[in-house]
Structure 1
Amino acid sequence: MGVFYETLPPSLVPWLLDQKVFWIGSAPLAGDGHVNVSPKGVSDKGGPFFGVIKEQQQQQQPRTPNENVEAEANADADADADADKIGNGNVLIRKFWYMDLTGSGIETTSHLHEPGNGRITVMFNAFSGPPRILRIFGKGNVLEYGTREFNEIVAAQKITIIPGTRSIIVVDIHQVGTSCGFSMPCYSFVSFRPTLNDFFEKKLANEKAGKRKDGIEVYWASKNACSMDGLPGLKRGVKTGSIEKVQPIKKMVGRYAPLKGPRRPQRVFTVGHLILVALLSCMSTAIVILGLLRLGIGIASFKPKRVLV
């Protein structure tokens, strides 16, 4: 059966950190925008590629005898949480992070940058051992390469970045869910793929050699400046594109391609909105009528004073 938590139980962290692939889900706010799912892998170079930020919970005040009795009655329901607190020194986990590597798409970053959005789901799945699916729901924050926030988390989490690193994405967790995963097949890990690392090593070498057009900055401006729905993507790529006049590539074709700018959420008027408008109209009309009536009564009762000549 599925179990939900407000924070990530520390007892699940060793299993989570042992995984070599996970998935990211996000979407724009526009109802006709495209929901994106991205697989994320790791490499044998650099890292770690994902992790959690641990906090120490404040020590609770000693319980009264009555509170102890109540706590014992609820011991079974709280067994997992208590085990986490005892075994992990009252650890609280409310943040998950991962290293975002460069690719031709920039969907997740675009969705997280969109004002009023930031929704993100991270999913892990057991491919060996006992079955398990773990989902992390929250709001994501993109710490782009080269920014102060990026440098701070890289230092704090002891991350070794690789040539294709474009950001660290931090998820503020508001819900964690586990489920059985009984239907998921078993797979054996074979090897890491070196292709991405090799490709962006060449891009960085070109950048250092002064071959700007073949470097990673122009790649970001061309491929990572906007999402498939036209939303702004990597801020560094957008800035480079503006300064160096690099046109973003066209990512969609056909009738779903955004032709008149990025897709934005449309205002939808419901029955409730119509009722509210009708009520406000009635109230304003009533106020006007009452005002006119009072004015009419005032005029009718007005008696001009006689002036003696």
Structure 2
Amino acid sequence: MGQFYETFPPSLVQWLLEQKVFYIASAPLSGEGHVNVSPKGVSDKGGPFFGVIKEPKSGSSVDIDEVEDEEKKNGKNVVIRKFWYMDLTGSGIETTSHLHEPGNGRITVMFNAFSGPPRILRIFGKGTPLEYGTPAFNDIVASQNITIIPGTRSIILVDIHQVGTSCGFSMPCYDFVSFRPTLNDFFEKRVASEKAGKREDGIERYWAYKNAWSMDGLPGLQRGVRTAMTDDVKPIKKMVGPYAPTNGRSRRPNKVFTLGHLILVAILTASSTAVLVLILLRVGNEKMIFGRGIWS
């Protein structure tokens, strides 16, 4: 049976932190934009890669940094209104683009149990990208004791307005095997090149090339957009066909009218004209009859 909460239940924090995979969903405001779903994983280097921020309940004197006894851990004196995750660099920038879009910010985070009792958990809220190198990024990294890894481009902070749990009875069970080192190894080299002054192979150019614009042409990582302008980096082509953006601008497909459409328009026009003529004739006849009745 599903349940909903206005804040994150402290009783589910331990389960949440044990998960190794979660999913992010977001979308642009335009009805013609593309809905994005991204899987997120963790690594055995750095971290933590996601978490919640605990606050004292109104009127409580609890110091969150000193929550030690079991009662406090179970949430007797705390409330959780914020979730965060470390956003690692990839070839796409959809989530960040949607969160940066004025008037948008909608985000859903989903976890599900791959072992033990079944459970699906969704976090609904408004997200804010705290981009790498900004004061807000540095503050949350320090306050949450986060060890970032090469390729970290932001911390996504979610203001929770609803948490939902459901059964997950149809989800299969999986055993965790190992972490994948590929992404970390790749961006270690990019960061090293940046520090060595090899800007062409550095991470800033990568952000400009692949993370400056979304697939719908929305601006993405602000740092990438700036580098693209200063270094004249052309964005990667992310889609094909009529929906593919051009120079960072979304291109909508041209409307194509077939012979069937033209015939339908002709029929409707003829029908409308015939109805209008009949109405005018009827009105004219009524006027003539009315006139004879008055003056005869």
TM-score normalised over the length of structure 2: 0.79
Alpha-carbon separation, structure 2, partners of 1:59 and 1:205: 49
The aligned residue for residue 49 of structure 2 is 49
Cα deviation for residue 262 of structure 1 reads 3.8
Across the aligned residues of Structure 1 and Structure 2, the Cα RMSD in angstroms comes to: 1.9
Alpha-carbon separation, structure 2, partners of 1:248 and 1:208: 23
Indicate which of 169, 176, 180 corresponds to 1:189: 176
Where relative contact order (Cα < 8 A, 6+ residues apart) is larger, the structure is 1
1:28 aligned onto 2:28: yes
**Helix, strand or coil at the partner of 1:14:** helix
Matches within 5 A, 1:138-157: 138-157=125-144
Matches within 5 A, 1:73-152: 87-152=74-139
Change in Cα spacing, 1:23 to 1:140, as seen in structure 2 (3 Å) is same
In structure 1, runs of 5+ residues without a counterpart are 61-82, 265-309
Contact 2:235 2:248 in 1 (8 A): no
Residues 130-158 of structure 1: CA distance to partner in whole angstroms, max 9, x if unpaired? 00000000000000000000000000000
Matches within 5 A, 1:1-309: 1-59=1-59, 87-259=74-246, 262-263=249-250
Amino acid at match of 1:131: P
Alpha-carbon separation, structure 1, partners of 2:55 and 2:112: 25
Cα deviation for residue 259 of structure 1 reads 4.4
Alpha-carbon separation, structure 2, partners of 1:86 and 1:99: 24
Contact 2:108 2:124 in 1 (8 A): yes
Contact 2:237 2:245 in 1 (8 A): no
Identity percentage of aligned residues: 80
Cα deviation for residue 241 of structure 1 reads 0.6
**Helix, strand or coil at the partner of 2:138:** helix
**Helix, strand or coil at the partner of 2:15:** helix
Residues 45-69 of structure 1: CA distance to partner in whole angstroms, max 9, x if unpaired? 0000000000111248xxxxxxxxx
Residues 251-309 of structure 1: CA distance to partner in whole angstroms, max 9, x if unpaired? 11102223486459xxxxxxxxxxxxxxxxxxxxxxxxxxxxxxxxxxxxxxxxxxxxx
The aligned residue for residue 74 of structure 1 is none
Alpha-carbon separation, structure 2, partners of 1:96 and 1:260: 34
Alpha-carbon separation, structure 1, partners of 2:185 and 2:197: 19
Alpha-carbon separation, structure 1, partners of 2:247 and 2:193: 35
**Helix, strand or coil at the partner of 1:222:** helix
Alpha-carbon separation, structure 2, partners of 1:24 and 1:225: 19
Change in Cα spacing, 1:236 to 1:261, as seen in structure 2 (3 Å) is closer
**Helix, strand or coil at the partner of 1:237:** helix
Cα deviation for residue 171 of structure 1 reads 0.2
Residues 93-126 of structure 1: CA distance to partner in whole angstroms, max 9, x if unpaired? 0000000000000000000000000000000000
Amino acid at match of 1:54: K
Alpha-carbon separation, structure 1, partners of 2:164 and 2:202: 41
Contact 2:234 2:247 in 1 (8 A): no
**Helix, strand or coil at the partner of 1:143:** strand
Contact 1:9 1:84 in 2 (8 A): no
